[in-house]
Structure 1
Amino acid sequence: MSATDGDAAEPLRRGAAAREKDQDERTVMRLRLGVGVIGVLLPLALPAGNWIAARLDGRSGADAWPGSMSGSYYTSTRDIFVGALCALGIFLIVYRFDRFNDILGTVAGTCALGVALFPTAPGSGGDAGRTTVSVLHQVFAIALLTAMAAFCLSMYRAPGIADRPHARRPYLVAGVLILVFMALAAAAAATDVGDDWLVTPLYLCEWLSVWSFGFAWTGAALALAADIDRLPRTRAFVGAVLGRLRSLGGLGAWIGGGLRPGSR
């Protein structure tokens, strides 16, 4: 091949490299968005699904809220709970960023699969096998929340994130909140506070922990999407989302200002 042919092929190589980079960024953005959507929707989908199933069955739906998210395994939304955790686990395992976060993501994803595949005990009592499975469930659940908090805190200082305040703040807040909610859940369990509440402290703390994680990942996905300015459909989607957030008030305006393409 002559030098002229090589020069002519260079733009093609650059174009192929740019398309590959766009595809990689789009894949990472979709993985982040998938994790975020699961985290945001799951805590509400479980009681809502139980209530709908109860009403269709002619019951009042007063028992729609399980004692914990894991307790959904013995309700009408078992398949939603198990399916969402398996999807979350796969998303986290295949997500790639840097080596340390790859390890944390794999640990968190494995724990999510463990929570889904080893159900909690249905109540007091139970045979030895069920008790062993329940213990494994508790270990995986605690490890999952801890890994989620560690993941968020590590992403706060991760390369490519540390220089983007609008993307790193949600990770820091989420990591701290997950640890706080874990401590509150442990305190409530030790003191039996709220055992008779419609929404138990354990479910509430799990709910808010998963929400913290989900919103952090959703914000990161939108931040990445806003930076991929070569994707017209992505820009249109992000613009619609930011428009909706701005209509909600000052918080939406703050988020929208931080997610503008090119902002750092």
Structure 2
Amino acid sequence: MSTDGTVTVPLRDRVATAQRDQDARTVMRLRLGVGIIGVLLPLALPLGNAIAALLDGRTGDDVWPGSMSGAYHTSTRDVFVGSLCALGTFLIIYRFNRMNDVMGTVAGCCALGVALFPTAPGSGADSGQLTVSVFHLVFAVGLLTSMAGFCLLMYWAPGIKDRSYVRRPYLVAGVLILVFMALAGAAAATGVGDDWPVTPLYLCEWLSVWSFGFAWTGAALSLAEDIGRLSRTRAVVGAVLRWVRSLGGLLGRGTSPSRPAV
């Protein structure tokens, strides 16, 4: 205690407090980064393809690929690969508890595998591309499955059991991802929607990634509230969501091309 009666906090304790705050801010931003990638990627791919088609004077037949992975063979290949690499890195370095660490690492490695082992093009694929495409399919199924597992594990994770507003989005996201995977498999087996401008596979992948992204965004908002940065984080999220709505408006007014064979 100082001579004027105020309590003096030792330097070591002040440094430790600042370090904990810095760690919390880092984790919050990491969660928000994963959420933003999940929310924006399904829309950024067709929007980027539409813009590229307009600039090049093309018809835009590849605006909506048959799947998100099909974007590898469109104008937004770099956006797709870069986003998955960023997502994979985030998931690998994210730490919570042991089970979530393992599941996050598996999901991150699968995301990198999806990015580095592209799916085969719709036509004219050689034997090498078809072989690589098998690895791509394995990594893609592993990614979606581990994303669902990660969300379900977070529902029972210690530290958030008393926060239903954080737990429930994780539970909903995990269940929805599994449901959308089943629907995508059923559509592929029956051929339903193969001639749709936006295929059932793309829609199911889109909604799965959105479920994961929104759950992580909610977790980021929860942590931002704990460290007194909720207003700033809400402003960032609000700006992102407004941009998403504007993307939806642009896509609604844009070209509605037919889907290429994938």
Indicate whether the TM-score tops 0.5: yes
The one-letter code matched in structure 1 to 2:190 is T
Could you give the per-residue CA deviations for residues 162-221 of structure 1, whole angstroms, max 9, x where no partner exists? 111111111000000000000000000000000000000000000000000000001100
Residue equivalent to 2:235: 240
Residue equivalent to 1:213: 212
Which aligned pairs between 1:21-170 and structure 2 lie closer than 5 A?
21-124=20-123, 126-170=125-169
The one-letter code matched in structure 2 to 1:212 is S
The one-letter code matched in structure 2 to 1:29 is M
**Structure 1 stretches of 5 or more lacking a match?**
1-7, 248-264
Residue equivalent to 2:172: 173
Return the alpha-carbon distance in structure 2 between the equivalents of residues 42 and 138 of structure 1: 19
The one-letter code matched in structure 1 to 2:139 is F
1:147 deviates by 0.2
Give 3-state SS (helix, strand or coil) of 1:108's partner: helix
Could you give the per-residue CA deviations for residues 70-120 of structure 1, whole angstroms, max 9, x where no partner exists? 000000000000000000000000001011101111000000000000000
**Structure 2 stretches of 5 or more lacking a match?**
1-6, 243-262
The one-letter code matched in structure 2 to 1:210 is V
Return the alpha-carbon distance in structure 1 between the equivalents of residues 235 and 81 of structure 2: 31
Percent of aligned pairs sharing the same letter: 74
Going from structure 1 to structure 2, the CA distance change for 1:62 and 1:121 (only over 3 Å counts) comes to: closer
Return the alpha-carbon distance in structure 1 between the equivalents of residues 237 and 195 of structure 2: 40
**TM-score of the aligned structures, taking structure 2 as reference length:** 0.85
The one-letter code matched in structure 2 to 1:77 is T
1:59 deviates by 2.1
The one-letter code matched in structure 1 to 2:98 is R
Going from structure 1 to structure 2, the CA distance change for 1:243 and 1:106 (only over 3 Å counts) comes to: closer
CA RMSD, 1 decimal: 2.0
1:63 deviates by 3.2
User: Does the 8 A contact of 2:32 with 2:216 survive in 1?
Assistant: yes
1:17 deviates by 1.3
User: Does the 8 A contact of 2:62 with 2:74 survive in 1?
Assistant: no
The one-letter code matched in structure 1 to 2:233 is V
Length, aligned pairs only: 235
The one-letter code matched in structure 2 to 1:240 is A
Return the alpha-carbon distance in structure 1 between the equivalents of residues 20 and 175 of structure 2: 33
User: Does the 8 A contact of 2:91 with 2:107 survive in 1?
Assistant: yes
Residue equivalent to 2:252: none
Give 3-state SS (helix, strand or coil) of 1:61's partner: coil
The one-letter code matched in structure 2 to 1:41 is L
Give 3-state SS (helix, strand or coil) of 1:194's partner: coil
User: Does the 8 A contact of 2:119 with 2:136 survive in 1?
Assistant: yes
Give 3-state SS (helix, strand or coil) of 2:10's partner: helix
1:242 deviates by 8.2
The one-letter code matched in structure 2 to 1:144 is L
Return the alpha-carbon distance in structure 2 between the equivalents of residues 129 and 9 of structure 1: 68
